Amino acid sequence: MTRYVFRLTIAILGFAIGCGISTLSLWLRRPVTSGAQTNSRANVKPLIDTADQIRASPYSSIKLTVARLSAFHVEDDYDRIPPGVGPLLHELKRQLRDLAADTLNEHGKQIPNAEEVEERLNSILREEGLLTVEDADQDDNESSDTSFFYGGIYAFSVRRAPNNPGWMVVTTELEICCGRDTSLYLFKHSGTRWELALAQEADDYHDVSGAHGRFQYAISPPDGQKRFFVVTANVNPWCTSNWQQLRYEVLRPAKNAYQPISLLKRQETIYLGVDQPYRLDVRSNGFSLRFLGDKYSDLMIGDKEMGPNNENAVQHPRFRISGNRVVQVSK
């Protein structure tokens, strides 16, 4: 009897230890956690305000969304978007868009200086503890914590459209794992108000490659009929590799700001291992890009000594635009 009890006890202990090891293994492999954050990495802002502080802020809705996002953290090379983060990123983009519109409309009939609007918007973020500051020493951070926390907001950018003072461009930039996500909003001054005329956001993506990283845009001068076009370009974020996709699109404003007229939409392979991965130039009747892509890759595969600064390695597609027709004139 004693021997039977002893064997039974050993069996139960072995089963319990096995379950504990399995549970620990699953927990260690779990990429996403949610809970209180610590200020251990450069991308983490100061700890979120208390509920009373959030409610007392005139920007409580933005602060609440950031607080909810900051509860999500992942490994710093995790390329998936955690469940629940996507809708919050979408909400935060719309809140920042509305903040920009409200700030523009504080001026009434007056057309404000773009630099003043930009400073006002960024001062709001700064005073509310919402502005993520570029950290030049991030690579020197000695912390062993490899977590990434969502909720980072970079500075607004506000620019006036060229030769068109009644149009203003605002971009917002959110921090995501392995990159950033930029949104563009083009506002038109009409009477006493600024109205949203064109918007480009990345939404409903399930991994970080769906975001608008390394974003650039350019607006053409207006033509004789006061029409202009907007060229946007971005590179998909990713946690590894210097070879990614350069995506670009030509747009004109339409009745629905979120459904602009798309004249051209393409993507190309791009090499990112240089100081300036690509350049976008726009003129009154077209645009051009410069980047290292498939041509550079082919030269490398061909075992030719071809540095990235060699003009033969550069792709330089040029496009001519007439009305709503886009023609590529060179590769």
Q: What is the pLDDT of residues 36-82, one digit of tens each?
A: 333 333 455 445 677 777 878 889 999 999 999 999 999 999 999 99
pLDDT at 19: 44
d(C-alpha 160, C-alpha 174), whole Å: 22
Predicted pLDDT of residue 300: 76
More confident residue, 278 or 36: 278
- pLDDT for residue 43: 58
Q: Tell whether the model's pLDDT for residue 143 goes beyond 60.
A: no
pLDDT at 34: 44
- Of 54-63, 104-113, 260-269, which one has max mean pLDDT? 260-269
pLDDT tens, residue by residue, 288-331: 999 999 988 887 776 555 666 678 889 999 999 999 999 999 98
Q: Where are the beta strands (DSSP E) in the chain?
A: 32-34, 72-75, 147-149, 157-160, 167-176, 179-190, 193-200, 213-219, 230-235, 243-252, 261-271, 278-283, 286-292, 314-315, 318-322, 325-330
d(CA 310, CA 274): 13
Q: Answer for the pair 93, 184: CB distance below 8 angstroms, yes or no.
A: no
Q: Output the pLDDT for position 17.
A: 45
The per-residue pLDDT for 134 is 79
- Write the DSSP assignment of 119-131 as a string of letters: HHHHHHHHHTT-B
What Rg, from alpha-carbon coordinates, does the chain have? Answer: 25
Considering the chain, what percentage of its residues have pLDDT values greater than 90?
67
What's the CA gap between 242 and 112, in Å, rounded?
41
| Helical spans, DSSP H, in 35-113 | 51-56, 60-70, 85-105
Task: Please say whether the beta carbons of 198 and 253 come within 8 A.
Answer: yes
Q: What is the pLDDT of residue 99?
A: 98
pLDDT digits (tens, 9 = 90+) for 164-220: 889 999 999 999 999 999 999 999 999 889 999 999 999 999 999 999 999 999 999
- Cβ neighbors of 9 (< 8 A, separation 6 or more) are none
Q: Which pLDDT does position 233 carry in this prediction?
A: 98
Domain extents for the chain?
39-136+143-209, 212-331
Q: What is the pTM of this model?
A: 0.84
Q: What is the mean pLDDT of the chain?
A: 85
Q: Which residues partner with 268 through β-bridges?
A: 246
Determine the average pLDDT of the residues in 5-9: 47
CA-closest candidate to residue 35, choices 77, 70, 63: 70
Instruction: Give the closest residue to 185 by CA, choosing from 213, 224, 219, 134.
Output: 219
Mean pLDDT of 151-168: 94
Closest C-alpha among 112, 124, 132, 129 to residue 43 = 132
pLDDT digit string (tens) for 220-247? 999 988 899 999 999 999 999 999 999 9
Cα separation, 80 vs 237, whole angstroms: 11
pLDDT computed for residue 163 by the predictor: 86
DSSP character for 139? G
pLDDT at res. 277: 97
User: What's CA 60's distance to the chain center, in Å?
Assistant: 23
DSSP letters spanning 223-238:
-TTS---EEEEEE---
Residue 10 pLDDT level (bands cut at 50, 70, 90) = very low
